[in-house]
């Protein structure tokens, strides 16, 4: 009887370990979601500082964004996210580093044009938890136009702030 109980527990332990290994995902979805979510959330806070034409706050938000960019662990991302992140990471990092040391709102906004373009590429490859709106102002960037991302459907222009707060339109909803 004692050997049957021992055999039963050994078999139970073996099966539970086998099942745990079988259900382990290839990447850590929770870690991936949280690390990229932090990057996107800090991007949105930076965008809001530019909407308010607050250069000092934009520097602070750029530093927070840089910290979240540096904390992303590529190994925790899905294959698609990882490939995109590894392609865009250095560009985003370099751009945000410049923003974190640029006290001039015009300079910050010029850097934000490139940052927004790169962030849109990463966002489309990721699994962000809510819809994001790609918005466009045809007058920004010296009349060439510029895009940005927003969690709100209503346009609040980071390139002109209060001068032309609602200049622009939603060009795409990214889900």
The tens digit of pLDDT for each residue in 143-154 reads 999 999 999 999
Nearest to 47 by CA among 34, 58, 63, 60: 58
Query: In the block, which residue shows the tokens 């410049």?
Result: 98
Nearest-10 crossing angle of helices 55-71, 105-125: 30
What's this model's pTM, rounded to 2 decimal places? 0.81
State which fold the 25-174 domain adopts: 1.20.120
- In the predicted model, what is the mean pLDDT of residues 63-81? 95
């Amino acid at each position: 009887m004692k050997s049957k109980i021992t055999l039963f527990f050994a078999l139970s332990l073996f099966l539970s370990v086998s099942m745990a290994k079988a259900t382990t995902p290839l990447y850590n979805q929770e870690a991936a979601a949280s690390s990229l979510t932090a990057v996107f959330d800090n991007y949105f806070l930076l965008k809001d500082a530019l909407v308010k034409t607050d250069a000092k706050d934009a520097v602070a938000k750029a530093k927070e964004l840089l910290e979240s960019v540096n904390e992303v662990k590529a190994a925790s991302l899905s294959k698609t996210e990882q490939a995109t992140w590894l392609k865009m990471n250095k560009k985003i990092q370099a751009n945000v580093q410049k923003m974190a040391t640029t006290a001039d709102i015009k300079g910050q906004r010029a850097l934000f044009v490139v940052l927004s373009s790169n962030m849109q590429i990463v966002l489309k490859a990721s699994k962000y938890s809510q819809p994001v709106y790609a918005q466009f102002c045809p007058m920004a960037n010296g009349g060439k136009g510029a895009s940005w991302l927003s969690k709100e459907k209503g346009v609040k222009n980071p390139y002109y702030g209060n001068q032309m707060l609602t200049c622009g339109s939603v060009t795409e909803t990214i889900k």
